Amino acid sequence: MSQTAGSDYDPKIDQVNVSNTVTWTNKDSIVHTVTYESRNLTKHFDSGNINPDKVFSQTFTEKGTANYYCKLHPYMKGVIHIK
């Protein structure tokens, strides 16, 4: 599964099964992050800076909702529902 940061920051997918891995690919020309924003999962995640043409992957191990945003551009947000 792939996610493009930048103008398409919202995921192309919004629902995954437990144990699925989601990979975000930064196809923008500037740096972005994928940073966990929710409080309903015990495992938090933060990609750190994702440079252009680089990727970040996260495996979801429990059911819940993962709200995330870009620390550098807080208006960029997304959500994944893990079932």
CATH number at 51 reads 2.60.40.420
pLDDT at 51: 95
* pLDDT tens digits for range 17-49: 989 999 898 988 999 999 998 766 667 899 999
Q: Return the higher-pLDDT residue of 40 and 81.
A: 81
In this prediction, residue 77 has a pLDDT band, given cuts at 50, 70 and 90, of: confident
Strands (DSSP E) contained in 1-83 are: 2-4, 15-16, 21-25, 35-36, 55-59, 64-70, 73-82
What is the total count of domains within the chain?
Answer: 1
Whole-structure pTM value? 0.80
- The domain in which residue 12 lies consists of 2-82
